[in-house]
Every structure is written in structure tokens, then in C-alpha cells.
A and B are shown apart, each in its own frame.
Chain A
Amino acid sequence: MDSTSIRFTWLYAKSELRLKYRYTALGVLWNLLEPLLYLAILSVVFSYVNKMRLSDFAVFLFSGLVPWRYFEKVVSTCTDAFVQGDWLLKRSPASPLSLPLARWIVASVEFGFSFAAVALVLAFMKEHWTVHLLVLPLAVLPWSVAALGAGLCCATLFTFFRDIRPVVQLGLMFAFFTAPILFNPDLFPPESMQARLLVWHPLTHLAALFQKPIHAERWPDAMDWALSSGTAVAALTLGSLSVLWARTRLYFYL
């Protein structure tokens, strides 16, 4: 990407953020309200299903759900980034990366708001604040990189195979419901098949980067860092290579 494309990406992301709330009565307040309401509904319903104390479950859910929603938003909004961006890609030599990158920036800013808003409320629900919370800014990185990589892959695939959208949505749904985000992995005995399968679920280790410092009040394991960082780097490499391959072909498929 050249400096013109980098500047355009940043300005485009700023415009998208500005426009998102321009015609709403509550404006940017939605950035705070929406994650709070979402978390409140899920906490009430699933604390009952999981037979956990509401405040304890809300803390557990928050720790996995907020980064997951960020990941999901990046992937789903990036999927049609090239196809919706034909107004730009067919008329200017701007880098195609600008479009998914702008969506990634928008989702990242919204994630920051969500995290701050929900953390503020959970400050009253969480009993102990420990030093482990200091690792959270670092824990965002693998999520963010993995989301961008997956988003780039989906954007490329969707340009050439429009059938991919429902597959992406089903894939996200499958990943979410099979990952220990809504349920606590300690539900399963360590030797059970479910527990052994969960070890290989990439989201288990990504979620652990948030769940362990926030809910379990301990540091993420070396295995969590290694597998989540490996997943993120692999996703970004694959995503970047797919865009590199598609760069000269996009025009003919938009």
C-alpha cells in the first residue's frame, strides 16, 4: 500500500464511523448501550442455563463474548468489502486492501468502546481486581490479527464465489457455539472427549487470553499464547496472500 492508499483508508474509516451514528437520535451512545444490552440479555438467559450466579456468569461471558463479537464483526463486514467496493476498485487505482482495512479499523474502534463500557459495569460485579488484567491490551493483538486475516480471506473468496456468504455465517455460528464462550469448559471432565476436542479448538486458546485474566484471575498459559499467536499469524499470512493473488483479477469479477 502506498501513502495515498493508507491516508484514504484512514479517512474512509473515519467517515464510516461518523456516518454510522449520524442520523440516530442517541448517536455514539449506541456504542455503549448496544454491547451492554446484548450482554445483559445473554447473561440473564445463560446464567440460568449454566446454573451459575448471575454476576459470576456475566464476568465469564463478558471475557469471551466481547472479543468474539469483535472477531465476528470484522469477518462478516470484511466479507463483502471488495464486492461492495466496486465504486472504488473499478474507477481508481486505490489499493483493494483499503476497503477491508477500513472495516477492520471501524470494528476495532467499536471494540474499544464496547470493552470500556462493559468493563465499567463489570467493575461493580467483579469481586477482585487482580494484576492479571494488565495483560489484556496484549491479549487483543492475536484476536485482532486473526480477525483481519480471516476477513481478508473471506473478502477474496466472496468476490470469486458468491455462495461463500452463508458458508461464512454458518462457520462463524459453528465456531461460536462449539467454543467455550457461552459455556465454561470446566463443565467437562478432563478425560472426556469434549474436553479433548476443545483443546484443539482455535477459539479455546484465543478466548483463554481474556477469560483467564478476567474470570479465572490467572495468567494465560504459554500454550494459549503460542496457539493463538500461531492461528493469528497463519490467518494473516493466508489473507494477505489471497489478496495479493486476487489484486490483479478483482476488476474482472466485480
Chain B
Amino acid sequence: MTGSVFELKNVRVTFRTNAIEARSLKYSLASWLGRKPRTSYAALSGVTMSVAPGERLGVIGRNGAGKSTLLRVLARVIVPQHGHVAVDTARRIVPLLDLGVGFHPDLSGAENCVLAGSLLGLSPARITARLDDIVRFAGIDGFIHEPVKHYSSGMYARLAFALAFDVEPDVLLIDEVFGVGDEFFMDKCRARVQALSSGGVTSVFVSHNLDFLQAECNRLVWLDRGRLVMDGEPAVVAGNYRERRGVFED
């Protein structure tokens, strides 16, 4: 790794199709006898890129372009079948691939902060000491000792955001999670992200909100059908993306 946070070389991630049918004995036998081809599709294909420390990278593309798969590769949730991925694990990487990862519906908000916080690398003592701040940021005072299954979806999202932002990450990976919660809370979250970014935190955002990405990122990459088709200045990439309506033709 030449000082990069992430370095991807010729990464390819494939998923098998016919996921339901392929589990049956009949299909397996037919496939084994060569009567049914094993089909798959590439969610990422030949992706080569790197992310430097402090960079604010936005990932754009139409539905199914491979954006979330790319983020999961960076978060080390998916190990690609082909290619090479190097991650600077000395940095604290916080993946926000989904809200409330590690939350158990029957546990209270406070108990979930301890459990999910441990996934983000925080000790129970640290979470307990910071709980008042987390509750204040989430704005769910009075409900923190209730099971989260009784929370509204907005309250759930607020707690998840508040916990994730309390981690003080070196690298933040965010997958289209700004669409939940009320407008005022989302403004608060964006302000926190901006503060983190200006503080030197490396960020990778996946979003369909081009305005947000243009405002927050200093680099955009455009994925189309698993391939990285454009990488550069946010205004240039976003302009091309809009002009071609998200479909890149060679």
C-alpha cells in the first residue's frame, strides 16, 4: 500500500443467478451433468482504484450498478473472488452500510448502544460514559431504556446515527442512509459529517443525491453495470452522469 487507505486492483465480485432453484437436488444434478449451465453475473468487474487519506469520495450509478457491493468490499464484508484489495487496517473504519447493525429488537436502546458499539470498536465503559451525549444527539430522551422494537423508524435511525457518529472514525463508509429521519435531524447529521470531513476523516459515500455528493465530495466515481466508467472531479463526473442519464456507452 502506497499510503492509500484502500487500494483495489482488478476486483471482480460475482453472484450466482437462480439462487433459489440452484439449491435443489434436481438443479444440482442437471448442472453437474452439464444440462444446465451455472450462470452468474458480475456485480463488480475489473475495478481498479485507490482512496487516499482525507479524500471524500462519492460513488454514483444507477440501481444495480455495484455501488453497495463496492462499499461492502471496502468494508471487508465481501471478499472478492478475483483481484486484490488492500485496506489500511490501522485506521478506525466505520461502515454505515445499514442503520442499526448489531441492534437487537428486544434489547433497550442503551443495551443496544453497548452491543452495537462493540462492533464499532467501542468498549462498554466508553459507551456508558458517552450515553448522555448519544441520547442528546439522537433526541430520544425518555426512551433509551425501552426496547428498540417499540421505537418508531425515525427514532431507531436517530439512535443508530448518534452511535455511529460518536465513534470518532478515521474512515467513514456511508451507504445511502441519509434518506431516513426527519429533515432537521438529517441536517444535524450532515453537519456532523461535514465536521468530520473537514477534520481530515476519509469518507466514501454511496448516494443517488448528486447535489449532496457534489457539495460534500472532492472526487466522484461512476459505476455502470459493475464497471468503473468515470473517476474524477465531482462537477465533471456528475455532469456526464446527468447528461447520459446514468448509462455509459463505450
Which of A's residues lie within 8 Å of B, judged by CB?
4, 7-8, 11-12, 15, 18-19, 22, 87-94, 162, 247-248, 251-252
Contact = CB atoms under 8 A, between A and B. Distances in A.
B123 interface: yes
B119 A4 contact: yes
Given A11-B124, A91-B101, A92-B102, A4 B118 contact: yes
B101 A88 contact: yes
A19 B15 CA distance: 36
7 contacts: A4-B121, A7-B123, A11-B115, A15-B111, A19-B104, A90-B77, A91-B101
Main secondary structure of the interface of A (DSSP, over half): helix
B244 interface: no
A7 B126 CA distance: 13
Given A7-B123, A91-B101, A92-B101, A12 B77 contact: no
Interface string B65-82: 000000010011111000
Contacts of B242: none
A15 B97 CA distance: 23
A164 to B, nearest CB: 12
B107 A19 contact: yes
Contact of A162 (B23, B104, B123): B23
B12 to A, nearest CB: 13
B16 interface: yes
**Interface size class of chain B, counting residues whose CB lies under 8 Å from the partner chain:** 20 to 34
Contacts of B23: 162
A87 B97 CA distance: 11
A91 B98 contact: yes
A93 B75 contact: yes
A93 B77 CA distance: 5
A94 B119 contact: yes
B141 interface: no
B184 to A, nearest CB: 27
Contacts of A247: 79
B109 interface: no
Contacts of A89: 77
A251 B118 contact: no
Among A11, A18, A247, the most chain B Cβ lie within 10 Å of the Cβ of A11
A19 B77 contact: no
Contacts of B15: 252
Interface of B: 15-16, 23, 72, 75-79, 95, 97-98, 101-102, 104, 106-107, 111, 114-115, 118-119, 121, 123-124
Contacts of A87: 101
A98 to B, nearest CB: 9
A11 B118 contact: yes
A165 to B, nearest CB: 13
A12 B79 CA distance: 24
Among A8, A89, A91, A248, the most chain B Cβ lie within 10 Å of the Cβ of A91
Nearest to A160: B23
Contacts of A11: 114-115, 118, 124
Contacts of A94: 119
10 pairs of A and B residues whose beta carbons are closest in the complex? A248-B79, A93-B76, A91-B101, A8-B118, A91-B98, A7-B118, A11-B118, A91-B97, A92-B101, A4-B121
B52 to A, nearest CB: 21
A114 B104 CA distance: 27
Given A12-B115, A88-B102, A92-B77, 15 more contacts: A4-B119, A8-B115, A8-B118, A11-B115, A11-B118, A15-B104, A15-B111, A87-B101, A90-B77, A92-B97, A93-B76, A247-B79, A251-B72, A251-B78, A252-B15
Contact of B102 (A8, A162, A252): A8
A22 B101 CA distance: 22
A19 B123 contact: no
Contacts of B124: 11
Contact of B115 (A15, A22, A93, A248): A15
